[in-house]
């Protein structure tokens, strides 16, 4: 039996320093010791598809072989989804279609793969989108639908608007700052409901965004992302920075998986 249920929120493209300035709901929880905060250092290349695989498997790029965003294939590594399923738990995702390609089926077909409910798959309940402009509010509504209906033990919520706006306007822009602020408001609206349902909440990002609207390299702006843990039963280390490679084993420990 699983010890805890977890919702993992991935804010695509949200860099650490902007989160510190714009995420008032989450930072207030940290200030009042209702959440813990660390700077997380993402793996390289600091691009989405390789880092989704890092987050879900704990394996660096050279091992997991998801080298770039252009590698369209299913994961060959042991993922959190597989561990949860082996333990008799239920999995869910509301997120970008690359998640479906990594853990359910590749390539993605919008006509057959957008909404998936299949107990045999690694992601058993999924609502996927394929346009970067798909509103974050809709992603969280999709997630709430899955959580309310199926109560998965492990749920991933992955939103894309911060990344999309960052590419269009750069991380120095008013538009980027606004989008991070909006994401915090959405989280503040819906996450307390999930907490009351017994979920442990993690909020982080795959990678950041630089002052030119880029990521993928080794700059701190590319690699430094926030890590919020809304869980008062797990004590994080005293280190100010943690590696993204620690996220997968941390989640499995919280859930009581081996």
How confident is the chain (258 residues) per 10-residue block, as mean pLDDT? 95 98 98 96 98 98 97 97 98 98 98 98 98 98 98 98 98 98 98 97 98 98 98 78 97 93
The tokens for 217 are: 């390299």
Q: What is the pLDDT of residue 77?
A: 98
Q: What is the pLDDT of residue 234?
A: 77
Alpha helices (runs of H) in the chain, residue ranges in sequence order: 16-22, 24-31, 48-57, 61-64, 80-86, 97-103, 110-113, 136-150, 161-169, 174-196, 220-223, 247-255
Q: What is the pLDDT of residue 172?
A: 97
With beta carbons less than 8 A apart as the criterion, state whether 22 and 180 touch.
yes
Q: The whole model's pTM is what?
A: 0.97
User: 5-244 falls under which CATH superfamily?
Assistant: Alkaline Phosphatase, subunit A (3.40.720.10)
Q: What is the pLDDT of residue 218?
A: 98
Place of tokens 């899955």: 146
| Angle at CA of residue 243, ends 239 and 247, nearest 5° | 105
Residue ranges of domains in the chain: 5-244
Q: What is the pLDDT of residue 151?
A: 98
């Amino acid at each position: 039996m699983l010890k805890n249920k977890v919702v993992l929120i991935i804010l695509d493209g949200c860099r650490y320093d902007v989160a510190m300035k714009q995420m008032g709901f989450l930072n207030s929880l940290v200030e009042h010791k209702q959440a813990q905060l660390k700077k997380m250092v993402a793996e390289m290349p600091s691009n989405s598809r390789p880092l989704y695989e890092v987050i879900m498997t704990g394996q660096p790029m050279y091992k997991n072989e998801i080298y770039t965003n252009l590698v369209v294939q299913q994961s060959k590594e042991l993922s959190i989804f597989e561990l949860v399923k082996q333990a008799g738990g239920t999995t869910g995702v509301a997120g970008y279609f690359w998640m479906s390609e990594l853990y359910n089926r590749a390539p993605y077909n919008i006509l057959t793969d957008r909404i998936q409910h299949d107990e045999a798959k690694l992601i058993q309940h999924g609502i996927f989108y394929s346009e970067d402009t798909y509103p974050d509010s809709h992603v969280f509504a999709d997630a709430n639908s899955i959580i309310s209906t199926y109560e998965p033990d492990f749920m991933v919520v992955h939103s894309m608007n911060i990344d999309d706006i960052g590419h269009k306007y750069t991380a120095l822009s008013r538009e980027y700052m606004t989008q991070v602020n909006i994401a915090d408001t959405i989280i503040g609206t819906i996450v307390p409901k999930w907490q009351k349902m017994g979920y442990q909440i993690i909020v982080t990002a795959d990678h950041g965004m630089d002052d030119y609207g880029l990521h993928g390299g080794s700059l701190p702006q590319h690699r430094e992302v926030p890590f919020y843990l809304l869980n008062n039963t797990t004590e994080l280390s005293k280190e100010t920075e943690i590696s993204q490679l620690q996220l997968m084993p941390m989640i499995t420990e919280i859930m009581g998986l081996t």
